[in-house]
Amino acid sequence: MKKLIALILAVMMALALVACSAPAAAPAPETSNTETEAPVQNSAEPAPETEEELTFAIIYPASDANWYNSIAEGFKYGAEEASEKLGIKINTMLLPSDYDVDLEVANIEMCVTQGIDGLCMYSFNESGAGLAAQKLAGTGIQLVCADSCGQGLEAGYDMDGCVDFDWYKMGEDYAKWMAENTTGDYVIITGNFESYPCQFVNEAIQKTSEELGVNKLVGPILDSDYEADKAAAIAEDLINSGKTFETIFAMCADLAVPVCRVLDAAGYLNNPYKVITQNGQDDLDIAAVADGRMQMTISSSPGYEGYVAFRWLLSERLGKCDLTNEQIWLPCAVVDYEATQNRDNTVIVPWEPCEEWATLAVRDMPQLDWYDK
C-alpha cells in the first residue's frame, strides 16, 4: 500500500511540474515584401529596419478609379524595380482612403506609428497634403505629395516636395489646339469644381482662348462629378440645348468615351461636334484618337507619376538626393492622330510599367539617376 501511495504522489508531482513550465515559443514568421490596402492595428513596436529593409507607403483617394490605381501600381513597381537592382528588401503599403477623411487620417497616423521610411501622399481633398506634413513633422519620414498641384507647398508646409503634371499648361495646350484646328466655340465638361487639376485646366483654357481670340467658351462649365453616366447625360442635354459650339472638352477619358458614344448614336460625332480630352490611356482615349472618334488628347501617365514619387522618396531616404519643398512638374504631351500612328513611349507615356519610365525619370528629375549607373 505504501508503494502505491508513493507512486501516486510521484505522478502528481510530475504533472504539476509540466503545468508550471512555460510553453515553447512559436517560430517567428518569415519576412517578405508586403502590400497593405487598409490601416491595421499594430500594438507591437515595429522591428528595427536597416538599409537592407525599407518600408514605403502611398495613400491615395480610393481604389475605384483607373487613375488612382495606376499611380499606386506605379509606386509599387518602382519599389520592386529598386529592390531587384539594389538588393534591398523594400516593403510597400498601398492605402486607399475611400474618400473618407477619418480613414485618411488613420492611414497617415498608422504610417507614423509604424515608423515607415517614406510616404507618397495623394489626397482627395485640399487639406490632405498639409495634414500629412504636419503629422510627419519631426518623425524623419520622407514625404512627397502627388497630384496636389503644389497646394501643400503653397500653404507653407515643409516636405521633400510635390510631383505633378502641369495642369495649367494642359489648359493652354487645349486652347492652342482649338485655335489651330477649329473655328467654332467650345463647352467644358469638367470633373468637379473642387478638384485642383480641374480648376487649373478650366482657368487656363478660358484665359488662353480669350487671348487667342478664335474660340469662346459657351458656358456655364458643366460638372460631371467624374461620373460617366452624368457626362453622357450632359452630352444629351447639349445636343438638345440649341447652343452653337464645335468642340466638347471632357476632363478625362472616362468621361469623354461615353460622350463620344452619345454623339455617335445621335449621328453627331465629328459632324459637327468634336471631342477632346486628357489621360493618355491606351485602351481609352489613345485608341479613340487612333480610330478618329476623338480629335486629340493629352498624355499624362499616373503610373509614371507614382514611379517618380517612389524613386524620389527612396533617393531622399538613402541620402542620394537632398531636396526640400521642391515642385517637380512632369511634362505632358498633346496627342493627335499622327502621334498615335508613330508611337513613341517617351511622348505617349504608357500607364503600365515600361523601360522608358527610367529614362524619363532621369530626364525629368536628374537627381534620380544614381542607381541606374
**pLDDT, tens digit, for every residue of 252-307?**
999 999 999 999 999 999 999 999 999 999 999 999 999 999 999 999 999 999 99
Residue found by looking up cell 511540474 in the block: 17
d(CA 127, CA 130): 6
Strand 247-250 to strand 274-276: parallel, antiparallel, or no bridges (unpaired)? parallel
Q: What is the pLDDT of residues 238-257, one digit of tens each?
A: 999 999 999 999 999 999 99
Q: Give the 3-state secondary structure of residue 236.
A: helix
Contact 346, 331 (CB under 8 A): no
DSSP type of residue 139: T
Helix (H, G, I), strand (E, B) or coil at 210: helix
Lowest pLDDT segment from 7-16, 108-117, 315-324: 7-16
Mean pLDDT of the chain: 87
Write down the H helix ranges in 242-352: 253-266, 287-290, 302-317, 337-341
pTM of the predicted model over 0.75: yes
Report residue 306 as a C-alpha cell.
507614382
User: What backbone phi and psi angles, to 5 degrees, belong to 299?
Assistant: -80, 125
Cβ 58 vs Cβ 71: under 8 Å: yes
